[in-house]
Amino acid sequence: MLHIAIIGSGPAGYYTAEAAQKQWGDAVRVDIFDQLPVPFGLIRSGVAPDHQSIKGVSRRYDAVALSDNVRFVGHVSVGRDVSVAELQGLYDAVVLATGAPNDRPLGLPGADLGNVFGSAAFVGWYNGHPQFAGLAPDLSGGHAVVIGNGNVALDVARILAKTPQEFAGADIVAHALDALAGSAIRHVTILGRRGPHQIAMTPKELGELGNLARATPRVDPADLPAEAEDMMLEPGQRKSVAHLRSFAAIPEHVHADAAVEVEFDFFAAPRALIGEEGRARAIEVERTQIDAGRAIGTGDTYRIPADLVVACIGYQSSPIPGVPFEESAGRFANDEGRILPGLYCVGWARRGPSGTIGTNRPDGFSVVEKIAEDVGAGAAKQGREGFDALAKARGLDVVTFRDWQKINDAEIARARDGAPREKFVDVADMIGAAGRE
């Protein structure tokens, strides 16, 4: 029997379990650990609450989770409750699928002012991640600035721009919905160091911004390259730029009538945050020009109001004691997923924070090949029985997949009208809903 421990129950973790099942069938036992009592990583706490069809992908993992040889071991934090070295002693292979949960630092003067957040924190707040549920951003100012030109920046801008009614059918948590309903933000600036041809925004997400109830997107036509140059772009990027062109063509009277404006400020590098009484009020920006694909400052600076700042500039993994870490890339040091024989990584913990949910799938299959090469059919380790003894001795309150199903049922039962669920945002409440004190 081969015993595998996967640390992290996001997409990368479940795809790896699926690949292991395909490879070894009944001859493998897989334990999927998560620090939270609830599974699915960023599908629950990252993917936007108004994108329910994408969140539905987690149903695909249920089949894997409910099979006899795969187990969810929730509410166990590896590195705190149990060490990687202990797991290596119990399992033939340990696979880190811990994602990249920390914000990449903004590294600007004033970044520590109040009401300046990274996207992990801000997205975690509206998605009810227990670590960030208490964030309490102040939405009483008129201007928000979102830094970054990727889909996460679009998610944040859209969430700030929507009316409460536009969250019908979304699983945005009640504390965020209430705060957004009282929001005074009427202007959202999306800052990008480079130009329209360099955005990392996908067409569907950009298109949504053109169809909001009270908000209108604004693009300065002068920022757009000549239309003929779009032919050099790959088709998806061309579609995204076509959306920006349609935003640039929105007549002034439409802007005048819109209650909220979402403005794209391209060729604009943030240089400093300026505060009053400890909280952000403005951002200093330097105009850039593109040289060989890179944004170079022109020396021309200006200020824009910024009562709330959300930096959507990428993520990094959390180091785990004893595991080699590549600081510069913010991920575990690995060779195609192998950290060393018996210890592996997949997903964002392996590649860094890029790609969609599906991008994590091939990682599972490739790491299973490496495990097969390194440990063959296993070395008679204790596997889950050994872990259960350790958990008992240590008094760990392990949450199983059946417990999660009870939490899930309770969240669905307490949903507001039209919403798929009302998430518990507190670990103790999750454990309580699982039927325990």
Ligand X SMILES: Cc1cc2nc3c(=O)[nH]c(=O)nc-3n(C[C@H](O)[C@H](O)[C@H](O)COP(=O)(O)OP(=O)(O)OC[C@H]3O[C@@H](n4cnc5c(N)ncnc54)[C@H](O)[C@@H]3O)c2cc1C
If the CB atoms of residues 152 and 425 are measured against ligand X, the closer one turns out to be 152
In 7-72, where does DSSP find H-type helix? Answer: 11-24, 42-45, 52-55, 58-65
End-to-end CA distance of the chain: 35
If the CB atoms of residues 42 and 375 are measured against ligand X, the closer one turns out to be 42
If the CB atoms of residues 196 and 347 are measured against ligand X, the closer one turns out to be 347
**Contacts to ligand X by CB under 6 A:** 7-13, 33-36, 41-42, 46-47, 51, 54, 77-79, 97-99, 101, 123, 152, 155, 318, 347-349, 355-357, 360
Q: In whole angstroms, how close is the CB of 398 to ligand X at the nearest point?
A: 12
Question: For residue 149, how far is the Cα from the chain centroid?
Answer: 15
Q: In whole angstroms, how close is the CB of 45 to ligand X at the nearest point?
A: 8
If the CB atoms of residues 151 and 288 are measured against ligand X, the closer one turns out to be 151
Q: In whole angstroms, how close is the CB of 33 to ligand X at the nearest point?
A: 5
- Rounded-to-integer distance, Cα 92 and Cα 215, Å: 54
Q: In whole angstroms, how close is the CB of 24 to ligand X at the nearest point?
A: 21
Q: In whole angstroms, how close is the CB of 38 to ligand X at the nearest point?
A: 8
If the CB atoms of residues 58 and 216 are measured against ligand X, the closer one turns out to be 58
* Residue 206: Cβ within 10 Å count: 22
Dihedral sign for Cα 157, 161, 165, 166, please. Answer: negative
3-state secondary structure of 239: helix
If the CB atoms of residues 36 and 375 are measured against ligand X, the closer one turns out to be 36
If the CB atoms of residues 170 and 282 are measured against ligand X, the closer one turns out to be 170
Please classify residue 307 by burial: count the beta carbons closer than 10 Å to its beta carbon, then call 0-12 exposed, 13-18 middle and 19+ buried: buried
Question: For residue 49, how far is the Cα from the chain centroid?
Answer: 12
Q: In whole angstroms, how close is the CB of 152 to ligand X at the nearest point?
A: 4
- Joined together, the tokens standing for residue 81 give 């409750």
- Rounded-to-integer distance, Cα 430 and Cα 425, Å: 8
Q: In whole angstroms, how close is the CB of 353 to ligand X at the nearest point?
A: 7
- Joined together, the tokens standing for residue 104 give 């990449």
Q: Please report where in the chains the tokens 């990449």 appear, as a residue.
A: 104
With residue 95 as reference, give the H or E element that holds it. Answer: strand 93-96
